[in-house]
Structure 1
Amino acid sequence: MCYSIAMENGGNVTELDTDTYPRNFYSAKISRYGQSIFVLRNVHYPYAAFAQRDASGGFVLAGQPEWLQLSEDPARFLSLAELNQDWSGLCGELSPEELEQIRYWNPQTVGEIVFNAWD
């Protein structure tokens, strides 16, 4: 997915991390003309998002950059508005195991649930 996105936008995948422990997502850095963005892809569900690295090496969710266009993809890219939405309205869609993890880790947004580093 990331290689095709990079090629379609005249860029390259300059970093790829498929080691998911303790995370629940893969990450790839797409670079083009001195600009870059990370693509996060959830391991369990067909959701993806854009992000930047923070000072501690973690990820901060971001919007789609203007220079990057998406074609049809099996993964659904979540918007920043969707990622920053409060998750409590989605309780009916979550399994008891997922709700138990949420109670323990106390995330505040949908993005913190879909792209997490809980062990």
Structure 2
Amino acid sequence: MRLTKGITGFDAEHLIEQDMRTFQSMVYHLVTSEQRAKVRQFIDEPPFVYMQAMVDLDGEKLTILHHRYMPYIAFAKQNEELPFTFLSKPRLHKYFPMRKCLEATTLTTLLSKDQALHSLSVTEWRYIAYFNSQTIGDVMFNAWD
């Protein structure tokens, strides 16, 4: 996967911020359509580069992440620590139309694998080095301040 300039939240002035209400609507559609599903909490805390929904689904606590500047969705185990433990949930992709639901294999790919393909800015590369981000998921769903 190629990371574009601004995906880290820095140098993102050319990107359009995604709407929290639309994300909430998609998550509510998921929990009303799936049995044994419940929304626990929505979190939208700038400067985090993502919005999140904490849900219970089939007895599992999940975090659904929506990138703040790109139409990307990721699923992760709910826990208090970063980095997230990303999950693949292909059966849930249908609830997030016009969004790309990313698989765990993509998010756990080492950043160095296709480093030449990424078009990140110098500032973004500095933050990646400073916070020692290793994977695509670390860069896309960061909580750098």
Higher strand share: 1
Do residues 98 (structure 1) and 121 (structure 2) align? no
- Give the letter for the 2:141 counterpart: F
Q: Which secondary structure state, in structure 1, belongs to the residue aligned with residue 53 of structure 2?
A: strand
1:8 corresponding residue in structure 2:
33
Cα displacement (A) at 1:37:
1.1
- Aligned pairs for 1:23-38 (under 5 A) are 23-38=48-63
Please tell me whether the aligned partners of residues 64 and 73 of structure 2 are also in contact (alpha carbons under 8 angstroms).
Answer: yes
Root-mean-square deviation over aligned CA pairs: 2.1
> Any gaps of 5 or more consecutive residues in structure 1?
none
Q: Residue type matched to 2:81 in 1?
A: G
Any idea what SS the aligned residue of 1:87 has? coil
Pick 1 or 2: higher relative contact order, CA cutoff 8 A, min separation 6: 2
TM-score w.r.t. the length of structure 2 is 0.68
Structure 1 segments of 4 or more deviating over 3 A?
none
Cα distance between partner residues in 1 of 2:58 and 2:108: 29
Matches within 5 A, 1:9-88: 9-10=34-35, 11-21=37-47, 23-54=48-79, 57-59=80-82, 60-65=84-89, 69-71=92-94, 73-88=97-112
In the alignment of these two chains, the number of paired residues is 115
TM-score (norm 1): 0.80
**SS of residue in 1 equivalent to 2:62:** strand
Conserved in 2, the CA contact under 8 Å of 1:49 and 1:61? no
C-alpha offsets along residues 48-90 of structure 1, whole Å, 9 cap, x if unaligned? Answer: 1111233xx1242232358x53215222111111011011214
After TM superposition, the structure 1 stretch with the greater mean CA deviation from structure 2, 88-97 or 8-17, is 88-97
**C-alpha distance in structure 2 between counterparts of 1:101 and 1:112, whole Å:** 11
In structure 1, C-alpha distance between the alignment counterparts of 2:69 and 2:111, rounded to whole Å = 18
